[in-house]
Amino acid sequence: MIDPTITEALVRLAEVAARNTAGAVQTRVQTARAAKQNENTINELAEIINQLVDDRMELMSIANVLREQLVAQTITTEEISYITEKLIPTAETLMSMSGENDKAALEALKMLVSVETLTVLQLVGFNFKAAVGEPLTEVVSEFVSSLAPKSRGAGRQSQGQKRR
């Protein structure tokens, strides 16, 4: 699904592009010249120029939004290397701490988190932060929550309330 920010930027881009086709601008200029009233022609041409300048500013704003979205989804080569060097040992440690020994899952993770795979996936538009980062955040959150001691008093009280 496309990010709503990107969708909005693309809609604005289409609107500006439609307003500023060469034919549309040329028609407005010809109409202004056809009036043969110098002051009105000058005012109309000034308005066309001002609108073109405003549209240029809007296009620059749209380009910045799209660039920010791209940067937010892009992982640098250094970040990819860091991830591949640090994530696998950390995953191995966490698996051993939790008592799980799923070698197949670990091997799959190693293949997925290789420099080559991450680079190729990113080149074809894969969004790691959404596809990997967000689910990983949930997994870690659940893991940390599972380590928290359960409050026994609250459990007894709620059971006692159910009996009444």
DSSP 129-149: IIIIIHHHHHHHHHHHHHHSP
Q: Are residues 63 and 91 in the same domain?
A: no
- At 67-125, the pLDDT tens digits run 887 777 778 888 888 888 888 888 888 888 877 777 888 888 888 888 888 888 888 88
- At 22-79, the pLDDT tens digits run 787 888 888 777 777 788 888 888 888 898 899 889 989 998 888 887 777 778 888 8
Residue 159 has pLDDT above 60, yes or no: no
Predicted local confidence at residue 19, as pLDDT? 79
User: Of 57, 73, 89, which residue sits at a domain end?
Assistant: 73
Q: Are residues 95 and 50 in the same domain?
A: no
Residue span of the structural domain in which 128 resides: 77-145
* Position 122 in a domain: yes
* Position 163 in a domain: no
Task: Please tell me the distance from the alpha carbon of residue 6 to that of residue 4, in angstroms, as a whole number.
Answer: 5
Number of domains in the chain: 2
Q: Are residues 86 and 131 in the same domain?
A: yes
Predicted local confidence at residue 153, as pLDDT? 52
Task: Please tell me the distance from the alpha carbon of residue 21 to that of residue 52, in angstroms, as a whole number.
Answer: 11
